[in-house]
Amino acid sequence: MNEFAFTEEQNMLRSMVRDFVDNEIKPIAAKIDAEEKIPEDLIKKLGELGLLGISFPEEYGGGGFGEVGYCIMQEEIARGCMSTATFIGAHQSIGANVIYLGGNEEQKQKYLVPLAKGEKIGAFCLTEAQAGSDSFNLKTRAHLDGEEWVINGEKLWITNGGIANIVSVFARTEKGITAFIVETDRPGFSAGPPEKKMGIKGSTTNPITFDNVRIPKENMVGQEGRGFILAMKTLDAGRLGLGAACLGASKELLELSTRYAKQRKQFDTTIANFQAIQFMLSEMASLIYAMESMVYRTAVDYDLKKDISHQSAIVKLFCSEALDKIADYAVQIHGGMGYSREMPIERFYRDSRINRIFEGTNEIQKGIIARHVLKKNGKI
């Protein structure tokens, strides 16, 4: 068996993103959290660096790095700011990805290219009041009126909803759930006030209303009635990318905790000499090793065009729970300083919690995994 190794280009991507995060994101991450906003200037720079379309082929304005490159980038971004990682995830791995996975050539040139170049911001509109975990139960409707689709309904918890220019929308038509591309400057589209959240405060989350929003007939994505499957396929990539962000945040927390443990003195010695602290660091490292192994194993399979539905559910489940545990240990190792806003640890602790909820709750992931295991008679 060959050794798993990143290519030179992938390593260069990582070091480019790391430098950018160190210089441009870490210094303002606390401000992003406090002001509950990612500066437009930062979004512009992310676009100029090609990070808002890193996974897509170059012919569609992307970086050509595929899912492995996307995971490398999200790992590094999440080390600095999970709000920014969330913004990128909603824009790229689910919002724009609907068009990449399901769109025709014309739609890709018209909508995916500006999204991938960061000239436009994307979002993914699936969730509704009665359709959270039960996404099949969505009520937003679309009907054809001459040469236009007319969309009516309400979406909830839409990440980037208030700042997106192009959204991928799932609505019910005569033939079932169907996907559409909607430009947000269409009359009848409106975003409500941002939700007040515990963490990832810099990432905006809004309700969206579609009040007789008219879009051209050609903005339907894929086949009518096949939109639910497209939403699920898109979430396969989204959940994997979420795992990568959890991995990056976990690595950052282990490094910060190790540094602190080697410097903080109690009982005339550094706390790194205490087995209680060492055990926490060991557990954190072991979880990170498992996360890294599963994220890149699955990302490689995704780039090989394999079906990774249940594997991405495993990645999402494991990595989000691992990060929560790691963030908790990081607070514990830092003691009072872990609880203080002087350090980024408490922000990671708050930001981490959402990962067990969005992109499908961990209970939904367990359902997906169990269904696969039962179907395959216990094989993974």
Give the residue numbers marked as catalytic. 359
**From residue 75, how far is each of 170, 263, 281 by CA, in Å?**
29, 26, 20
Please report which residue ranges of the chain form alpha helices under DSSP H.
8-20, 29-35, 40-48, 66-80, 82-88, 97-102, 105-107, 113-116, 227-263, 275-303, 309-334, 336-339, 345-352, 362-375
- With respect to ligand MYA, which residue has the nearer C-beta, 277 or 356? 356
- With respect to ligand MYA, which residue has the nearer C-beta, 251 or 271? 251
Q: Which residue is nearest to ligand MYA (CB)?
A: 89
CB of 329 to ligand MYA, least distance (A): 18
CB of 164 to ligand MYA, least distance (A): 12
- With respect to ligand MYA, which residue has the nearer C-beta, 315 or 354? 354
Residue 41: both structure tokens together: 């200037």
The angle, 0 to 180 degrees and rounded to 10, between the axes of the packed helices 345-352 and 309-334 is 150
The angle, 0 to 180 degrees and rounded to 10, between the axes of the packed helices 8-20 and 66-80 is 20
Which of 125, 320, 289, 278 is CA-nearest to residue 209? 125
CB of 24 to ligand MYA, least distance (A): 18
Q: Which amino acid is at 322?
A: A
- With respect to ligand MYA, which residue has the nearer C-beta, 219 or 250? 250
Helix (H) or strand (E) holding 168: strand 166-173
- With respect to ligand MYA, which residue has the nearer C-beta, 133 or 263? 133
Please state the φ and ψ torsions of residue 269, each to the nearest 5 degrees.
Answer: -150, 165
Q: Specify burial of residue 344 (Cβ count, 10 A radius: 0-12, 13-18, 19+).
A: buried
CB of 116 to ligand MYA, least distance (A): 17
CB of 358 to ligand MYA, least distance (A): 4
- With respect to ligand MYA, which residue has the nearer C-beta, 242 or 256? 242
Q: Which amino acid is at 84?
A: T
CA-CA-CA-CA torsion sign (261, 265, 270, 272): negative
- With respect to ligand MYA, which residue has the nearer C-beta, 107 or 352? 352
Q: β-pairing, 122-125 with 176-183?
A: unpaired
CB of 183 to ligand MYA, least distance (A): 20
Interface ranges with ligand MYA (CB under 6 A): 78, 82, 85-86, 89-90, 94, 124, 126-127, 133, 135-136, 159, 200, 228-229, 232-233, 235-236, 238, 241-242, 245, 309, 351, 354-355, 358-360, 364, 368
CB of 359 to ligand MYA, least distance (A): 5
Residue 185: both structure tokens together: 């400057």
C-alpha dihedral, 311 to 285 to 23 to 358, nearest 10° = 40
Are 121 and 38 contacting, i.e. CB atoms less than 8 angstroms apart? no
